[in-house]
Amino acid sequence: MTLYHFSKLGTAAVLTIMALITHRGTAAGALNTPPSLNTTNTTSSERDKRLVYCSEGSPAGFDVAQYASSTDYTAAGGTIFNQLVQFERGSMKLGPALAERWSISPDGRFYTFYLRRGVKFHTTPWFTPSREFNAEDVVFTFKRMLDPDMPFRKAYPSEFPDADFFGFNKIEKVEAVGSAPSYTVRFTMKTVSAPFLDSLAVPMASIYSAEYADQLLKAGKAPEINQKPIGTGPFIFEKYIKDAAIYFKGNSDYWKPEDVQLSRLVFAITPDAKVRVQKIKKNECQAMIAPPLENIAELKADPYLRVVGAKNKDFAINFLSYNVKHPPLSDNRVRHALDMVIDKKAIVDSVYFGHAQAAVAPLPPPQWSYDKSLKDAPRDFKKAKKLLAQAGYSNGFSIALWAPSVARPYNPNSRLTAEIIQADWKKIGVDAKIVSYEWAEFLKRAFHGEHDAVLIGGNGINDPDYWLGGFLGCRSMRGGNFSQWCYETPDGHKPFDDLLQEATRILDREKRTALYLKAQKVFKHEQPYTAIAYPVNYTVLNKNVTGFKTYMFGTVVFYGVGLTR
């Protein structure tokens, strides 16, 4: 062990030496990973290309079509799998992936995709493909999602909570075109769906191997598609040690070889944000998300780290959903009362340390058609009590306020957020009990509507339908609509959903914008959720990490990412 005597050194020199001690070996590319993450039989060259990512939580599984959180999307959607199309990293531009090109019929009802040839599914100890990717795999992927009577789905009953969220319920038919093996796929839509192409880039639209599924079905092991995933993506799944680590290796047969610069990728599951910070400062991991926001200035000042993220750039929102199926939240006077006493500034200051903007609209500011004219009602405790009295709750009521137990990219401290809201509601006689579960269980219960009010949020794509139809629309009642809000007037009209449906049938953006502006005003009148904050999604990287770019959905992707030696 080297000892340093600091007494005769200036402050700057001391800090420099201490930084070198903390990060010793970093400049040379030696990755000081903890013993629990070391893999055996790896050469020094492989170790130099081995990146450890401090993940904030455990995935619910690897059958990514069934799940909805950025944790699951990162662990599988952009790592193990590919989609037909994908957003370019660091931008909102949609580009080719497993489909090299596509065409859309003039009436918007037929999408034809021309598939990439020569793409290989992963070879693993549990599966060796006998053929390359083709149209059969695309047809299997979407039929499993849409047809509950499909043999594989009967053998492995699955839920696809985001299928309606992303508008896949508008697919009438998926078919291979031409003789087998076909490399052309046609989607026939029930109706025009303007957001459909973007939706095909989401992780739940990841393409699965029909051959692997058939092997599992014949062996009576269909559920293994969730534990032993097979995809075409840049990294091959090796093993998962529950709640501890996920191991991947670089796919040497990847169809875009320049995107695989890492020989090994390890997810070190580290729920405690402060522990993640210590690990990245010690170079025990080289990438992390959701750092404690009070540490951002410190992390930016560290010469061995790089912090990625900027205010008002992210397609992200944090909100508080009111389950309108649970009285008294079914009464919009109650929802408005709860909404108008929440101190959003206190949340932005105390939870986000200023690294967020107080939210008003149900769309993030970078999203086209965001309504800048919407305003929150002034905080008014007397008026809130009056509204509760009008609704028959002059003595208040009790409510369960659900908060995630882990830091999310859209909310680094849900517990503190809940406590601020709890204190605000106490002042109008509403007693909120804060409830939490392990993250996967939390999401499962919330999707089934067990909560009264739930702190949740999301990252998304560049289309208003994602935010409005996905988190609020009638079509998403079993998915992302945690408010369980399907607004219907006494005469049977659905003002909010009628606007959304009309907007998705129009390809002209200006006309769609006019409809979405009206829908946002309906939202504000009915208040099915309280928009809390538009956050910044920060990623912290070791300076040795190269090629990293942000991606949609709050997903961290490692294709194109490398390490300097």
Find the CATH number of the domain harbouring 551.
Answer: 3.40.190.10
Which string of b and e fits 287-321 if b means at least 16 CB within 10 Å? Answer: bbbbbbbebbeebeebebbbbbbeeeebbbbbbbb
Token pair belonging to 557: 């992707």
Residues 420 and 295 in one domain: no
Residue 400 lies in a domain: yes
Report the candidate in 528, 524, 533 with the shortest Cα–Cα distance to residue 377.
524
Residues 333 and 481 in one domain: yes
Single out the residue in 191, 220, 249 at which a domain terminates: 220
Residues 482 and 388 in one domain: yes
pLDDT at position 14: 33
Residues 518 and 423 in one domain: yes
Contact 47, 31 (CB under 8 A): yes
> Using 50, 70 and 90 to split pLDDT, how confident is the model at 497?
very high
pLDDT at position 39: 42
Residues 212 and 261 in one domain: no
Q: Please tell me the distance from the alpha carbon of residue 538 to that of residue 299, in angstroms, as a whole number.
A: 11
Q: Please tell me the distance from the alpha carbon of residue 387 to that of residue 377, in angstroms, as a whole number.
A: 13
Residue 6 lies in a domain: no
> Bridge-partner residues for 316, per DSSP?
459
Residues 462 and 334 in one domain: yes
Sort 221 into a burial class: Cβ within 10 Å, 0-12 / 13-18 / 19+: middle
Q: Please tell me the distance from the alpha carbon of residue 71 to that of residue 58, in angstroms, as a whole number.
A: 7
Which CATH number characterizes residue 183's domain? 3.90.76.10
pLDDT at position 47: 54
Is the pLDDT score of 459 beyond 90? no
Tell me the average pLDDT of the chain: 89
Q: Please tell me the distance from the alpha carbon of residue 146 to that of residue 129, in angstroms, as a whole number.
A: 25
> Using 50, 70 and 90 to split pLDDT, how confident is the model at 112?
very high
Residues 469 and 565 in one domain: no
Tens of pLDDT along 20-72? 333 333 333 333 333 344 444 455 455 569 999 999 989 989 999 998 788 88
Residue 5 lies in a domain: no
Quickly tell me which residue has 């500011």 as its tokens. Answer: 365
Q: Please tell me the distance from the alpha carbon of residue 146 to that of residue 18, in angstroms, as a whole number.
A: 57
pLDDT at position 398: 98
Total domains in the chain come to 3
Best-predicted range by mean pLDDT (166-170, 223-227, 406-410, 555-559): 223-227
Is the pLDDT score of 133 beyond 60? yes
C-alpha distances in Å from residue 236, one per residue of 79, 99, 178: 8, 21, 31
Residues 72 and 162 in one domain: no
Residue 241 lies in a domain: yes
Q: 138: domain range? A: 81-220
Lowest mean pLDDT among 213-222, 354-363, 523-532, 551-560: 551-560
C-alpha distances in Å from residue 17, one per residue of 13, 284, 474: 6, 19, 59
Is the pLDDT score of 105 beyond 90? yes
Tens of pLDDT along 382-391? 999 999 999 9
What's the sign of the alpha-carbon dihedral 194, 200, 204, 209? positive
Residue 202 lies in a domain: yes
Which CATH number characterizes residue 498's domain? 3.10.105.10
Quickly tell me which residue has 């903390």 as its tokens. Answer: 22
Q: What is the DSSP letter of 430?
A: E
Token pair belonging to 244: 């501890």
C-alpha distances in Å from residue 126, one per residue of 89, 169, 180: 32, 33, 26
C-alpha distances in Å from residue 106, one per residue of 177, 217, 507, 549: 19, 40, 11, 35
What's the sign of the alpha-carbon dihedral 352, 357, 360, 362? negative
Q: Please tell me the distance from the alpha carbon of residue 517 to that of residue 31, in angstroms, as a whole number.
A: 51
Residues 194 and 267 in one domain: no
Residues 360 and 408 in one domain: yes
Report the candidate in 543, 551, 552, 540 with the shortest Cα–Cα distance to residue 293.
540
Is the pLDDT score of 500 beyond 60? yes
Element at 48 (helix H, strand E) = helix 44-48
Residue 42 lies in a domain: no
Is the pLDDT score of 303 beyond 70? yes
Residue 4 lies in a domain: no
> Using 50, 70 and 90 to split pLDDT, how confident is the model at 311?
low
Residue 36 lies in a domain: no
Q: Please tell me the distance from the alpha carbon of residue 443 to that of residue 316, in angstroms, as a whole number.
A: 18
Phi, psi of 276 (to 5 degrees): -60, -40
Residues 193 and 302 in one domain: no
Residues 192 and 100 in one domain: yes
